[in-house]
Amino acid sequence: MFNERQALIAAICAVALWSTVATGFKLGLMVMAPVQLLLLGAAISTVVFVLAATLQGWPRTGWKFREAALFGLLNPVSYYLLLFEAYDRLPAQLAQPLNYTWAIVLALLAVPVLKQRLTARSLFGIAVSYLGVVVLLSQGRFDRLPDIDLLGVALALASTVLWAGYWLFNARSSTPPAAFMASSFCIATPILALLCLLGPGLPEITPQTLAYGAWVGLVEMGLTFLLWQRALRLTRHAARLGQLIFLSPFISLLLIGQVLEEQVALSSWLGLGIIVLGLLVTGRPKVASQPDTL
């Protein structure tokens, strides 16, 4: 049954929560290595998804091990490891807008994967968005190379390829969303624990680390995903509701400045604005189950 009021409330809550994640990432990475923060977040998300999927009849609806293993390695393992490493190396005001360009990568990958054509409008929008990336990375100076961690930039951009590819191939799955995420995370979490043991060690369990793990697991990966899915199920106007997501990166920059006390440069605001303008011009390819997350 459609309920536009409840859909709007769920969407606004999801956007508000997603706006906090860049700040949460940076705070968590101050006390944990990227893989440690990811392990705690994935473990908490696993609980959320398993509970949600069980309420919907999983695992009676089926367990596709190969599918779960493949997508679990993509998300959360590979995608978030790249993303957290990027956040660990870059100011949040750079990492967050760079990650937002995944929607442009999605449009590019839809050409070979979904056999969709790029229109002149799409090409123009893509060019505009990547002009925004140049402005963002310039830090307001075009007379010299930017004084930033180039590996961090490469990791952030590489993460957009994984994220876009993940949702393109995910669109072909017939598994219900909650069961899909539950099975993927059930496989991914032990892998992340092994990576921790082989690397920096398991994270120390304290109120602080658990809080940051919950921030990642509930806000970025778990509860907010379910809120957004609920909003899409309750509305007849998914495309119109999806426009709300464009508020998130701007609210996020405000929080980065206030909470992290980063001095957000004018070039960060301008670059993000140009990126979003390019996204609006391009539009998004039609992909079933496609999220509008950051």
pLDDT, tens digit, 9 for 90 and up, residues 125-144: 999 999 999 999 987 777 77
CA distance 200 to 36: 8
SS3 content of the chain, % helix, strand, coil (to 5): 75, 0, 25
Report domain extents, the chain.
4-282
Angle at 78 between CA 180 and CA 66, to 5 degrees: 40
In total, the chain counts a number of residues equal to: 294
> Residue 275 contacts by C-beta under 8 Å, 6 or more apart in sequence?
97, 100, 101, 129, 132, 133, 136
> Residue 265 contacts by C-beta under 8 Å, 6 or more apart in sequence?
93, 139, 140
Place of tokens 């011009």: 281
pLDDT, tens digit, 9 for 90 and up, residues 254-289: 999 999 999 999 999 999 999 999 998 887 665 544
CA distance 292 to 137: 24
CA-closest candidate to residue 74, choices 176, 191, 193, 153: 191
Convert 235-253 to b/e letters by CB count within 10 Å (16 or more is b). Answer: beeeeebbebbeebbeebb
pLDDT on residue 293 = 43
pLDDT on residue 191 = 97
Question: Structure pTM?
Answer: 0.90
DSSP 56: T
> Residue 107 contacts by C-beta under 8 Å, 6 or more apart in sequence?
118, 122, 125, 126, 282, 283, 284, 285
pLDDT on residue 169 = 83
pLDDT on residue 292 = 42
CA distance 172 to 150: 35
Low-confidence ranges of the chain (pLDDT < 70): 61-62, 145, 284-294
